[in-house]
Chain A
Amino acid sequence: MSTAVRAASTSPPTSKVPEPSRSRFRLTFPGALMAPGISILALLSIIPFLTLIVMSFSRVRLLGGLQLDWVGLDNWTRVLQDMDMWASWWRTAIYLVATLGLEMLLGVGIALLLHRVVRGRGLLLSLVLLPMFVAPVIVGLLGRYLTDSTFGLYSWALGKLGYEGDILGGSASALTAVILMDVWEWTPLIAMITLAGLTGVSPSVLEAASLDGAGYWQTLRHVVFPSITGILLVAFLIRAMDAVRYYDIITVTTNGGPADATKTVPIRLFETAFRFFDLGYAAAIGLMMLVVTILISKGFVAVLQRKV
């Protein structure tokens, strides 16, 4: 490998034409640096991916030694015909639209507010960011503490406003609660990214707009938003991918209940795999989820290549 390094270093790095003498399989310097990381990543990603595909066509038995029995398309026909599964997809869609919608709306709102503060903006931003660092499982448990029907602070406050009832016990209120817990944790991310975009809008453009007699909202609509759409899109896509990824909050608050009201796809997948140990079926669900995130990542990369 060391000879390859030296051979590469003697050629000027700017030359784009590959030397004809270089063997096809000899590692270049960048290639040599990439090799360890990329090989381990391949081990941790391609093998599980292939395993997942094989599992989705098998019945996986764990007792008495691991055994995979080929069952063809059984898991796939099941996953497409399972009405409970479609209900979970629908619920996941609602959950995603609600969390992402609220986070974008509130995040942009908070960023606009902070952008109008001149002194102390840094401190305020730091305070706003705090929920982002809290482990999602703690967010869920803290949510339970706050909404407990006998001693929860938020239940108590809602009781003063006339709302009685067990928040995590009712279908609609439980779904709302887990959505709001996610909103609490991740709105700061959107606010932070948007604020970065707003700070990037050149002051001279804003000045020109105000000299032209444009009001605050007009300036926002016609000058500020058009110049930060790329950044907003990045924020949205990053959040979307993570919202599909994580399910810790729901696991420790309602675990899908009451009466399946919060049973999103990842919760159902987890339950299928590790409560019913139906790993083949879980693998089929997992591959469907993977397709969804790959589509979102495609969007993310496409936005990046347009150079935000």
Chain B
Amino acid sequence: MSVSETQTTTRQKRSSQLMVWLLIAIAMLWTLVPLAWMLAGSFKSSADVTASDPQFVFDPTLDNYRNLFTGANDLTPYLWHSLVASSLAAVLSLVLGTLAGYGLSKSTMRRKDDLSFWVISTRMAPIAAVIVPLFLMFRVAGLIDTLPGLVLAYMTFNLPFAIWLMTAFFDDVPPSIEESALVAGCTRWQAFWHVVLPLTKAGLVTTGVLCLVFAWNDYAFATVFAGPSSQTLPIAASQLVTQTGIDWGQLTAIGTIVVLPMIFAGLAVRKWLVTGLTLGAVTGE
């Protein structure tokens, strides 16, 4: 290769690298501007937040957050309902899903494929189609506007998710590990509890976190099943939208409160997110 040829290829390489970074910068702007604008809005005064010329520089204030917790419509009960309903739904789904997932992974039953398919199709059922019959059942059972009702509603999608995903995580544990535990004299429960389960710690955490995120972020179920004594944060956010106008300062503040914890939870399991969100179909980063 001649010298001039090497120079052109390095120049080409450099300009294509520049192009890569330019495109990445555009992608980052598209991704981050709405979030940054929401965060900024939550610290703006009511005049700044709806100024017709966007205020990029402003005097930050905590008024929006203060008003959320001291105003006529205190956010605390909403926060409490959200916390209780989503964490209960996540924990129950995780416990039942782990047991069932292990069972399904080890099962040799004949209709196993049909059972798995039923589980995944339950998870994927359109929310609107699930809500309609549940509404009737909950009315009969008196579960409308109760936290247990909300927990059950969240389990309609979290339980099948947990079962399916934990099955995938258990499938990845080599059977020889469990077999040697059995040979060493463990009962099957001991082999499961003391040997296999610790090996799927990442799977447990990932499944739990994702269940929590799905339930915490729910809006559709809560609009139908939650009433004054069970309303969650997403409902509080939508209630700020009224005929007379929207308090965007408070709305961006609620948005921030809803979003921040889920971002931390989600990024904490980033390594296993691919596995989790493809329901075990794809592994590795």
Binding site for B on A (CB under 8 A): 5-6, 8-9, 12-14, 16, 28-38, 40-41, 44-45, 47-49, 51-52, 55, 60, 62, 66, 109-110, 113-114, 116-117, 124-138, 141-146, 150-151, 153, 156, 184, 188-189, 192-193, 195-197, 199-200, 216, 231, 234-235, 238, 241-242, 244-248, 251-252, 266, 269-270, 273-274, 279, 282-283, 285-287, 289-290, 292-294, 296-298, 300-301, 303-304, 308
Chain A residues whose CB sits within 8 angstroms of the CB of B97 once the complex forms:
37
- Contact in complex: B127, A245 (CB < 8 Å): yes
**Considering the chains assembled together, what is the distance between the CA atoms of A8 and B283 in angstroms?**
32
B182, B284, B285: which contacts A13 (Cβ < 8 A)? B182
- Contact in complex: A252, B238 (CB < 8 Å): yes
- Contact in complex: A197, B217 (CB < 8 Å): no
- Contact in complex: B129, A141 (CB < 8 Å): no
Q: How far is the CB of A267 from chain B (nearest CB, A)?
A: 8
Q: A34-B104, A40-B155 are in contact. Are A142 and B34 (CB under 8 A)?
A: yes
The 7 closest A-B CB pairs, nearest first, are A37-B100, A286-B129, A34-B103, A33-B103, A135-B217, A37-B96, A137-B219
- Contact in complex: A55, B133 (CB < 8 Å): yes
Chain A residues whose CB sits within 8 angstroms of the CB of B108 once the complex forms:
16, 30
Give the nearest-CB partner of B265 in chain A.
A133
- Contact in complex: A247, B273 (CB < 8 Å): no
B77 contacts A by Cβ under 8 Å: no
Q: Which of B120, B134, B140, B282: most chain A Cβ within 10 A?
A: B282
Chain B residues whose CB sits within 8 angstroms of the CB of A153 once the complex forms:
33, 37, 54
B122 contacts A by Cβ under 8 Å: yes
- Contact in complex: B99, A235 (CB < 8 Å): no
B7 contacts A by Cβ under 8 Å: no
B23, B135, B237: which contacts A137 (Cβ < 8 A)? B237
Chain A residues whose CB sits within 8 angstroms of the CB of B131 once the complex forms:
270, 273
**Considering the chains assembled together, what is the distance between the CA atoms of A285 and B124 in angstroms?**
16
Binding stretch for chain A, among B59-67, B68-76, B256-264? B256-264
A31, A142, A248: which contacts B220 (Cβ < 8 A)? A248
B contact face: mostly helix, strand, loop, or mixed: helix
- Contact in complex: A135, B106 (CB < 8 Å): no
A6, A252, A290: which contacts B241 (Cβ < 8 A)? A252
**Considering the chains assembled together, what is the distance between the CA atoms of A137 and B82 in angstroms?**
14
B49, B129, B163: which contacts A290 (Cβ < 8 A)? B129
**Considering the chains assembled together, what is the distance between the CA atoms of A115 and B237 in angstroms?**
37
Binding site for A on B (CB under 8 A): 16-17, 20, 23-24, 27-28, 30-35, 37-38, 41, 49-54, 96-97, 99-109, 115-122, 124-137, 139-140, 152, 155-156, 159-160, 163, 175, 178-179, 182, 187-189, 192, 213, 216-220, 223-224, 234, 237-238, 241, 246, 248, 251-252, 255, 258-259, 262-263, 265-267, 270, 273-274, 277-279, 281-285
Chain A residues whose CB sits within 8 angstroms of the CB of B99 once the complex forms:
33-34, 36-37
Chain A residues whose CB sits within 8 angstroms of the CB of B16 once the complex forms:
216
Known contacts A144-B246, A234-B281, A297-B117; 14 further A-B pairs (Cβ under 8 A)? A30-B104, A30-B107, A51-B133, A52-B132, A124-B28, A135-B216, A138-B38, A142-B37, A192-B274, A193-B278, A199-B285, A274-B135, A279-B135, A289-B126
**Considering the chains assembled together, what is the distance between the CA atoms of A57 and B278 in angstroms?**
36
**Considering the chains assembled together, what is the distance between the CA atoms of A153 and B54 in angstroms?**
6
- Contact in complex: A38, B100 (CB < 8 Å): yes
Q: How far is the CB of B177 from chain A (nearest CB, A)?
A: 12
Chain B residues whose CB sits within 8 angstroms of the CB of A298 once the complex forms:
117
- Contact in complex: B136, A55 (CB < 8 Å): yes
Q: A34-B103, A238-B279, A248-B220 are in contact. Are A269 and B128 (CB under 8 A)?
A: yes
- Contact in complex: A137, B163 (CB < 8 Å): no
Chain A residues whose CB sits within 8 angstroms of the CB of B139 once the complex forms:
62, 66
**Considering the chains assembled together, what is the distance between the CA atoms of A234 and B99 in angstroms?**
26
Q: How far is the CB of A184 from chain B (nearest CB, A)?
A: 7
Chain B residues whose CB sits within 8 angstroms of the CB of A304 once the complex forms:
281
- Contact in complex: A293, B102 (CB < 8 Å): no
Q: Which of B99, B103, B160, B213: most chain A Cβ within 10 A?
A: B103
**Considering the chains assembled together, what is the distance between the CA atoms of A171 and B139 in angstroms?**
37
- Contact in complex: A246, B127 (CB < 8 Å): yes
Q: How far is the CB of A257 from chain B (nearest CB, A)?
A: 14
- Contact in complex: A266, B127 (CB < 8 Å): yes
B27, B51, B262, B282: which contacts A110 (Cβ < 8 A)? B27
**Considering the chains assembled together, what is the distance between the CA atoms of A38 and B106 in angstroms?**
15
Give the nearest-CB partner of A41 in chain B.
B159
Chain A residues whose CB sits within 8 angstroms of the CB of B17 once the complex forms:
116
- Contact in complex: A266, B126 (CB < 8 Å): yes
- Contact in complex: B117, A282 (CB < 8 Å): no
Give the nearest-CB partner of B127 in chain A.
A245
